[in-house]
Structure 1
Amino acid sequence: MKRVITFGTFDIFHVGHINILERAKALGDYLIVGVSSDELNFSKKGRKPVYSEADRLKIISSLKCVDEVFVEHSLELKGEYIKDHQAHLLVMGDDWAGQFDQFNQICDVTYLERTPSISTTEIIEVVRQPSNCHL
């Protein structure tokens, strides 16, 4: 059985998330998803996610393409997460291309093309702009 692992915050869940998770699952038999903790997201992006860690875990675990979910507490532990979950393949979006190549020593690494014209950051910015509200 080929085990695939991926990581993300998965805040403001959108079709781009579904696309990459379904494509990651298609590369193996069992999909494991590490969901960034609220604290990890704050350290990476300078803001807490819109949806709580518990809500994001529930959203991801409810998807039929996802077999297992866990909380990612540290970027420095990514190699340990890969080993602990006995993953054969690490899948990340191509916006991370080359940044995880060091894990080729413990598993294969693949970067998948992101869904064009959609990102959580862009959605948050659109929602924050009062001129975008059409009442």
Structure 2
Amino acid sequence: MKKYKLGYTSGVFDLFHIGHLNILKKAKEQCEHLIVAVSTDELVQSYKNKTPVIPFEERLEIVESITFVDEVVAQMNRDKVAAMEHYQFDVMFVGSDWKGNALFTETEQIFKANDVDVVYFPYTSNTSSTLLTEVLNKIAQPH
């Protein structure tokens, strides 16, 4: 019997790497059913001012193909409280790079009042989509 019945996590999942896989695997180890919300291109553009390298439909397909994932949904906004109300999960899994972020501090208080836990997993600092994009951009630069 796993600690949680319904787990939720979200992300862009651009340039999918081991850090993404680790979060999904660790999340599934703790919940019976794992919902993963993949950010749409429009959402990413709205808060990062850049379009993901891999288009939304392809990122969705990549995440759907992972055995640890039970359900994949489109993330069209960053409102975690609305997600909690809609999906009725009892735990949200997040990378530790978000701990202390204003977006999550208020959300944690609301979750706590609704008996929803937030579990932080260690951020994979040596591998990130941002770092991979920087390396690709350097390679693509004319010499």
Match of 1:109 in 2: 118
- Kindly, what percent of the aligned residue pairs are identical? 39
So what's the TM-score if we normalise by structure 2?
0.85
Q: 1:31 aligns with which of 34, 37, 51?
A: 34
What is the RMSD of the two structures over their aligned residues, measured on CA atoms? Answer: 1.8
- What are the residue-to-residue correspondences of 1:1-135 with 2, within 5 Å? 2-75=5-78, 77-99=79-101, 100=104, 101-102=108-109, 103-106=111-114, 107-130=116-139
In 2: Cα distance, 1:64 partner to 1:130 partner = 33
Alpha-carbon shift at residue 29 of structure 1 (Å): 0.9
Unaligned runs of 5+ residues in structure 1 are: none
Alpha-carbon shift at residue 83 of structure 1 (Å): 2.0
Q: 1:127 to 1:81 in 2, by over 3 A?
A: same
| The 10-residue stretch of structure 1 (14-23 or 81-90) with the greater mean CA deviation from structure 2 | 81-90
CA offset digits 1:82-120 (Å, max 9, x no partner) = 221110001100000033223323311111102230100
| The 10-residue stretch of structure 1 (119-128 or 83-92) with the greater mean CA deviation from structure 2 | 83-92
CA offset digits 1:40-86 (Å, max 9, x no partner) = 111121101011111111110110000011111111x3211122111
Q: How many residues align?
A: 132
1:60 alignment partner AA? V
In 1: Cα distance, 2:30 partner to 2:63 partner = 18
Question: Which structure 1 residue ranges, 4+ long, deviate > 4 Å from structure 2?
Answer: none
Unaligned runs of 5+ residues in structure 2 are: none
So what's the TM-score if we normalise by structure 1?
0.90
Alpha-carbon shift at residue 132 of structure 1 (Å): 8.9
